[in-house]
């Protein structure tokens, strides 16, 4: 397996770990972001962009989860949690779609999708 294929496989693993974290309560997302940080420094384009996108997804997701949790007492937090799940699924699906075509994510710096 070439280095590019190895990096591409690791990008896919991190996206899957993020998706699994929606069921496991976030533990696999922590593993995923650690892997993204480890592989980011030595990755080539477009894999480096994917790792950067995954790192940003983790930290933004953590912020959104904090906001959702803080607003649970006023009940709007349940809506925020649902939106967070949708946001994470769409970002991971877009990332998996672009890595399948060997392309970088469309907009790495977006806070949205």
What does the pLDDT look like over 28-52, one tens digit per residue?
999 999 999 999 999 998 999 999 9
**Total domain count for the chain?**
1
Domain that residue 32 falls in: 3-100
- Asked whether residue 89 is domain-assigned, the answer is yes
CA distance 98 to 77: 31
For 66-101, the three-class secondary structure string (H helix, E strand, C coil) is: HHHHHCHHHCHHHHHHHHHHHHHHHHHHHHHHHHHC
C-alpha distances out from residue 38 to 34, 42, 52, Å: 6, 8, 11
Interior CA angle at 37 toward 65 and 96, to 5°? 70
pTM over 0.85: yes
Instruction: Give the model confidence (pLDDT) of 46-69 as tens digits.
Output: 999 999 999 999 999 999 999 999
For residue 112, being part of any structural domain is answered with no
Q: For residue 29, is it within any domain? A: yes
């Amino acid at each position: 397996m070439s280095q590019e294929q190895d990096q591409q496989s690791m990008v896919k693993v991190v996206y899957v770990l993020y998706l699994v974290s929606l069921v496991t309560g976030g533990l696999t997302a922590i593993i995923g972001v650690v892997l993204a940080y480890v592989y980011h420094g030595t990755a080539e384009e477009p894999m480096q962009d994917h790792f950067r996108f995954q790192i940003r997804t983790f930290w933004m997701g953590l912020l959104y989860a904090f906001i959702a949790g803080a607003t649970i007492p006023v009940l709007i937090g349940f809506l925020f949690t649902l939106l967070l799940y949708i946001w994470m699924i769409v970002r991971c699906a877009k990332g998996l779609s672009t890595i399948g075509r060997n392309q970088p994510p469309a907009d790495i710096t977006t806070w949205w999708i």
